[in-house]
Structure 1
Amino acid sequence: MTALSRTPSPLPLPQEDERCSADDRKRRTVTLFRTSPLLLDCGQPLLDVRVAYHTYGEAREEATLVLHALTGNSAVHEWWPDFLGAGRPLDPTQAYIVCANVLGGCAGTDGPSELGDLPISLRDMARVGRALLEHLGVRRVRVIGASMGGLLAYAWLLECPDLVARAVVIGAPVRHSPWAVGLNSAARAAIRAAPGGEGLKVARMVAMLSYRSPQSLAQTQVGQRRPGVHAVTSYLEYQGEKLLARFCERSYLTLTAAMDGFQPNDAELAAIRVPVLAVGISSDVLYPAAEVRAGAAAVPNATYWELDSIHGHDAFLMDSGDLPVRVGAFLHQG
């Protein structure tokens, strides 16, 4: 199977600031596995896999690899401004930073249409990422990922232990629990029951409830924004519409299934030897802090730290507090 040939549309670029150059903000694409196929965990080979990515800073053999969340993309400057920029944990003046849209996504990398809706795994994504790093001449990485990106960071530790020097996992467990699988199962059922967009909006509404916390919603979504409609209802409807405008329901099905399928056993986790910083979030109801802490305890060289916030799982994006300082100090050790 080969990827379709097409010209990607560029992402809109924000106003230039000190965080990265105009060239850094350009999305690039490369076609990998031209001669030797990517063998998926499902047993199917793929040739000519297109990958979309961003890089920040001067190219070098060591890099910091950023792994995005479920509905994210490779444009770190758009969704993680607290982390990217001079003096921040992801400093393009001091390090070479790479982020790619994952296999199965819908932001430039081959997605379900090109894959023929084949099932993919997080380990498949890591193998694609490894090929990208080889293309870029990178031989060693420090990995940082949050949410799905955190799960993917563990997949990198298992799939590419020779490449990873250290890893930061934010708001993610070592494997998906029945609770997380159940939420994704409900989301996929909504999409299948109402294809064409309505199901994806409902899936996003359900997901947003797991991304925030009761305390967060009580503080930010009180009362009504329009007559007869609760503020939280308006908020969830808006989030559903916003995701529908930028994301693909088939990618949502593919990526959530890949997350649910990531179930490393304790022996695999015990074999991880690189230093890991695992960050839990005190009010996270999707991946409770106790679950993140317990998972980190199964990794021999992991350190656990907890971000204190009322804003739930999404605190790593909206209420980062001391997180940038903690992450920066860990990434720059060694």
Structure 2
Amino acid sequence: MTPDRPVPAESASFDYDYSESPMVQAAAVRSQVSFAHVKLFRDQPLLLDCGLAVSDIQVNYHTYGRPADEAVLVLHALTGDSAVHAWWPDFLGVGRPLDPSREFIVCGNVLGGCNGSSGPEDLPEGAALTLRDMARAGRALMEHLGVRRVKVVGCSMGGMLAYAWLLENPDMVQKAVIVAAPARHSPWAVGLNTAARSAIALAPGGEGLKVARQIAMLSYRSPESLAQRQPHRVGGEQPVVAYLQHHGEKLAARFSEASYLAITQAMDAFQPTDRELRALRMPVLAVGISSDLLYTAREVRDSVTTLPYGEYWELHSPHGHDAFLMDPGHLPRVVADFLHGP
């Protein structure tokens, strides 16, 4: 699959339509959205990979569209949540890749998160979460909703979690789209997370989390993107300084240090073997981003081409890792054609 053209579809292209105004689209989504929470593993506990068992796990989730036994499961990024309409509006709506008028769409806040789902403080002392644990908890949510088969769409950390879903729940997954994520962390990504966790350890209570976010934000952008959005000034404080401080303050106000530590550790520890990946038999599309410094296009491509039925497409953008949010270009059509094609 060449990186400079959309994935071909054998059937007619999905009718991806921006003609509706944002207000009309937002109203259409609101009319089909549901927010709820559920307690899972009440009768039988979830056995974590660390060997501990946990019961009464709470999961907060959003659904879009009418319940059905097949669904599109969206997996959010590291500091994201289940409100897809808030963080991915380009993809959710009538005539868009995630279309509530034609499919049942579900997104749950991950186990270990801090947006209503059970977090690290709710787990037994010494419990260490893995992405595979999160995938097994996600399966329990889908079974609670009566879903038997899913198409998975995961972005960034959610893309790595999508690989965990493929490994843990292969009988349930029809196909998967993995956006801006490799199958396992490189030394570069582990190093960035280690620096972020060190900042939190040295300055608990919020200050360290602010620094961790600043480190992460630099990895989410490219030098060209920062030069465009936060241009250099002669004299005075540089705009990038205020930009990083703003994002640090913003995350510290809404996110948990414990969740940040637990989820980044789970990402670093997720290291599936090539043999495991070669055993996967479902179609998978991975999307790399040409300017991504966190997860380079090459490592995203190398991960998916290990799969027997893996395809690759590359989004060309100057905006780095977060281009799938900031500058999606043809990505919505590519994702739609893959999800709804044969």
Structure 1 position 170 matched with structure 2 position 179: yes
Q: Which has the higher relative contact order, 1 or 2, with Cα contacts under 8 A spaced 6 or more apart?
A: 2
Unaligned ranges ≥5, structure 1: 1-13
1:237 matches 2:245: yes
Q: CA shift at 1:63, angstroms?
A: 0.2
Q: Which amino acid aligns with 2:213?
A: R
CA contact 2:291–2:320 (8 Å) conserved in 1 = yes
- 2:320 corresponds to which residue? 312
Alignment partner of 1:156 is 2:165: yes
The Cα of 1:297 is off from its aligned counterpart by: 1.3
Residues matched between the structures, number? 319
**C-alpha displacement of 1:22:** 4.5
Paired position in structure 2 for 1:30 = 38
Amino acid at match of 1:217: L
Q: Is the 8 A contact 1:18 1:85 kept in 2?
A: no
Verify the 8 A CA contact 1:277 1:330 in the aligned structure 2.
Answer: yes
SS at structure 1 position matched to 2:30:
coil
- The two structures have a TM-score, normalised by structure 1, of 0.93
> For 1:183-222, what aligned pairs fall within 5 Å after superposition?
183-222=192-231
Matched, 1:299 2:307: yes
2:26 corresponds to which residue?
17
Percentage of pairs with the same residue? 63
**Is contact 2:112-2:262 (8 Å) kept?**
yes
- Correspondence for 2:103: 95
SS at match of 1:86: coil
CA contact (8 A) 2:32 2:100 kept: no
SS of corresponding position for 1:90: coil
Deviation sequence 1:248-307 (CA, Å, 0-9, x none): 111000000000010000100000110000100000000000111111111110000000
Identify the residue that residue 108 of structure 1 maps to in structure 2.
116
Match of 2:65 in 1: 57
Q: How does 1:280-295 map onto structure 2 within 5 Å?
A: 280-295=288-303
Question: What is the root-mean-square deviation of aligned Cα atoms in Å?
Answer: 1.5
What amino acid is aligned across from residue 85 of structure 2 in structure 1?
A: H
Structure 1 residue identity aligned to 2:137: V
1:146 paired to 2:155 = yes
Q: How far does residue 15 in structure 1 lie from its aligned partner after superposition?
A: 10
Q: What code does the residue aligned with 1:76 have?
A: V
Q: Check the 8 A contact 1:68/1:99 in 2, yes or no.
A: yes
Q: What is the TM-score of this pair, normalised by structure 2? A: 0.91
Give the Cα–Cα distance (whole angstroms) in 2 for the partners of residues 148 and 311 of structure 1.
18
